[in-house]
Amino acid sequence: RGQVYSDGDFDFARKHGIAIVTSEEFHRGGVELVKRRLKKFAKRPTYITLDIDVVDPAFAPGTGTPQVGGLSSAQILDLVRGLKGMNLVGCDLVEVSPPYDNG
């Protein structure tokens, strides 16, 4: 299905200084893009949210809004490792729906 969001859906977040990286952006720029985008937050207390529907349903089918062409498990692990050195105060994984995952 691909991304079901429009650019306007992210206006609130951007207006309030929340960094967003879509799967399309990640595919183009990889972990280095994320590191650059998050650099301004490096020393500030930072909370990370990972929306499971950014992961391709071949790797994480348990979501109500699967995104074909999403990230792989390996890319998610690279992303998490790329957070090293951040002042993380918390994180969450959202949009997980176990009934959609047969595993």
Q: Is the dihedral of CA 30, 78, 54, 46 positive or negative?
A: negative
What is the pLDDT at residue 35? 80
Are 20 and 5 in contact by the 8 Å Cβ rule? The answer is no
What is the pLDDT at residue 73? 93
Are 43 and 87 in contact by the 8 Å Cβ rule? The answer is yes
28-71 confidence digits (pLDDT tens): 988 888 888 888 888 899 899 999 999 999 999 999 888 889 99
Taking each continuous run of H as one helix and of E as one strand, the counts in the chain are 3, 2
What is the pLDDT at residue 4? 59
Residues 45, 88: Cα–Cα separation, whole Å: 6
**Residue with more model confidence, 39 or 90:** 90
The whole-model pTM stands at 0.77
The residues, ordered by sequence, that sit 6+ positions from 57 with a Cβ below 8 Å of its Cβ are 63, 66, 67, 68, 70
What is the pLDDT at residue 1? 41
CB neighbours of residue 17 within 10 Å: 8
Domain ranges of the chain: 7-100
